[in-house]
Amino acid sequence: MTRTEEVEIEGVPMVATLVPGRGGIGLLALHGSNEGGTAQLAELVARRCAATSLVFTQPRVRPPVHIPSPRLGPEHCALLREFLARVSLTVSLHGHLRPETPHTIFLGGRNRTAAHVLAEALTATAPDFRAVTDPTAIPPGLRGMHPGNPVNLTRLGGVQVELPLLARTSGGADIPPGPVVEALVAGVEELLTCGAPRRDPGLC
pTM exceeding 0.75: yes
**Could you read off the pLDDT of 11-60 as tens digits, one per residue?**
999 999 999 999 899 999 999 999 999 999 999 999 999 999 999 999 99
% the chain with pLDDT above 90? 94
In this prediction, residue 201 carries a pLDDT of 40
- The DSSP annotation for the chain comes to --EEEEEEETTEEEEEEEE--SSSEEEEETTTTTSTTHHHHHHHHHHHHT-EEEEEE-TT-SSPP---GGGS-GGG-HHHHHHHHH-SEEEEEEEE--TT-TTEEEEESS-HHHHHHHHHHHHHH-TTSEEE--GGGS-GGGS---TTSGGG-STT-EEEEEEEGGGT-BTTBS---HHHHHHHHHHHHHHHHH-S--SSS---
CATH number for the domain running over 3-194:
3.40.630.100
Residue-level pLDDT at 194? 79
Q: What is the pLDDT of residue 200?
A: 45
**Low-confidence stretches of the chain (pLDDT beneath 50):** 199-204
Tell me, what's the pLDDT at 196?
Answer: 54
User: What residue spans define the domains of the chain?
Assistant: 3-194
Instruction: Tell me what pLDDT residue 62 has.
Output: 95
